Structure 1
Amino acid sequence: MRSKSFEGMACSIAGVLEAIGDRWAVLILRDLSLGLARYEDLRRSTGVTNATLSDRLKHLEDNELIERRLYQTNPERYEYVLTPKGRDIILVLHALAQVGDKWAVSGDAGPPLRFVDHKTGHIVKLAMVDRETGQRVKAQDLLPQEGPGADDLVRWRLTHFRK
């Protein structure tokens, strides 16, 4: 079941959610980021129905997060790969995994997946950093401010921010 579209909303978060679509698409993006590329592998990994998988792949392709590539002819078969825009969306997935791991949402056995620097083998995590200095910024030190694309609704939301 599809919910109301976020199209036209002056909100980057809503725009990313609109491009992704739903929770099944998040799992498909997860699998693509892990190297799965073929339809049957995606279906097996997610457990999603054929109809849902086909619909979500089409949605992700329409939103330029993935592209189809022909890997076999007679019969034609395609694999799916992340576009540069799709690879950027993976940051969202890493953030979800990091929060899920912190709060043990998948159980007490520990994180089911870890992300490591292939050069050092050290576990990595996402962090907020000052764009100018590269210094880490704590969540409690963030201050939202109006950006150039702000509309009246964004400005209204900002009037409710409490430090």
Structure 2
Amino acid sequence: MRSNSFEGMACSIAGVLDAVGDRWAMLILRDLSLGLSRYEELRKSTGITHATLSDRLRHLEEHELIERRQYQTGPDRYEYILTRRGWDVVLVIQALAQVGDKWAVAGDAGPPLRFVNRNSGRPVKVALVDEKSGEVVRLRDVRPQAGPGADDLVRWRLSKFTA
């Protein structure tokens, strides 16, 4: 069961979490990014119950992360496609996979999924880069700073930052 909405909170992270909804939705988005698009494919891949899958698909569609397209009539059947917003979340999914690989959550067999450059075939990873120069920045060299949309609560959180 999902918690109450984060609507109205001045936090980009909370806004994305609200749009995604929960961990099942992340797995659905993962599968859509891998090319699965039909209800039964998503159910087989995740092992999710019918009720939960239907609820999460509806939630993701309402938050414009996916689009439902009819591919058959009589009976009507639909497939689910990532929207631009949905593809934006794939970056988060890739980051989660990268952390999971670092933690070796799949065990000694190694990462169950790799992301590679389509052109070179070489592995890619999520990294922080300087917005202007494109240079990679180490996490320990990053610090949070109030943005133009910061409210008093954001400024209070930042006042507690010590790293």
TM-score, normalising length from structure 2?
Answer: 0.98
RMSD: 0.6
What is the Cα deviation at residue 3 of structure 1?
1.3
Q: Which residue of 2 aligns with 1:65?
A: 65
> What is residue 131 of structure 2 aligned with on the other side?
131
State the match for 1:109 in structure 2: 109
- Structure 1, unaligned stretches of length 5 or more? none
Residue of structure 2 equivalent to 1:121: 121
Give the drift of 1:152. 0.6
Would you say 1:17 and 2:11 are equivalent positions? no
Cα offset for 1:106? 2.1
- What are the ranges of 5 or more consecutive residues in structure 2 without an aligned counterpart? none
Deviations 1:70-107 (A, max 9, x none): 10011110000000110011000000000000110121
Structure 2 counterpart of 1:133, one-letter code: S
What's 2:142 paired with?
142
Q: 1:108: Cα distance to partner?
A: 1.7
Matched residues, percent identical? 71
- SS of the residue aligned with 1:116? coil
Runs of 4+ deviating beyond 3 Å = none
Query: 2:46 aligns to what?
Result: 46
Q: Distance in 1 between matches of 2:82 and 2:136?
A: 29
Q: Deviations over 1:105-144 (max 9, x none)?
A: 1212100000001110100001000010001110010011
Q: Structure 2: how far apart are the matches of 1:105 and 1:162?
A: 30
What's the TM-score once normalised by structure 1's chain length?
0.98
What is the number of residues matched between the two proteins? 163
AA matched with 1:57:
L
- Deviations, residues 16-66 of structure 1 (Å, cap 9, x unaligned): 100000000000000000000000000000000000000000000000000
Give the structure 2 partner of residue 33 of structure 1.
33
Q: Residue 77 of structure 2 corresponds to which residue in structure 1?
A: 77
